[in-house]
Amino acid sequence: MHPSASQLPAPFPIRSSSAPASHKKEQGTATLKARRDLFTYLSNTGRTETLHRIELRNLPWREPTLHEIRVLDADRNLETIERGTNVAIGAIEVRLKPPAVALITLRASPR
């Protein structure tokens, strides 16, 4: 079983923010750590498009970070919308039109 976000060591490596955040029910986030992978999901059940910004800090590895973003919405069925390596940017941004869910996978780049 994966630990909950509250069971993970602080400071946790992923911080998310979203705009607009007119009502708490509109956005949801959760993050799980599994060995050298981090998984986080974002949701937008509101009425307007939301920009989510995921800041990457204090990751449990020193290598560049590989990321993959998959989206489930009216047009996509968990399709990959972005894949890449984050060397120095320190953040990932995702726009979600409601209703939508994004799954973001982060892992250390293979040596």
Q: Quick check: 74 and 61 in contact, CB under 8 A?
A: no
pLDDT digits (tens, 9 = 90+) for 41-73: 888 998 999 998 888 877 888 888 899 999 999
State the pLDDT at residue 62: 82
Rounded to 10 degrees, the C-alpha dihedral 60/63/38/47 comes to: 120
State the pLDDT at residue 32: 61
Q: Where are the domains of the chain?
A: 14-97
Q: What's at 48, amino acid-wise?
A: T
Q: Quick check: 31 and 7 in contact, CB under 8 A?
A: no
Task: Give the predicted TM-score (pTM) of the model.
Answer: 0.72
State the pLDDT at residue 61: 80
Q: What's at 80, amino acid-wise?
A: T
pLDDT digits (tens, 9 = 90+) for 15-46: 555 555 444 444 555 566 666 788 888 889 98
Q: Quick check: 18 and 53 in contact, CB under 8 A?
A: yes
Euclidean distance between CA atoms 52 and 59, whole angstroms: 19
The answer, yes or no, to whether residue 78 has pLDDT greater than 80, is yes
Q: Quick check: 57 and 13 in contact, CB under 8 A?
A: yes
pLDDT digits (tens, 9 = 90+) for 80-99: 999 988 765 678 889 999 99
- The two tokens of residue 12 are 């946790």
The answer, yes or no, to whether residue 13 has pLDDT greater than 80, is no
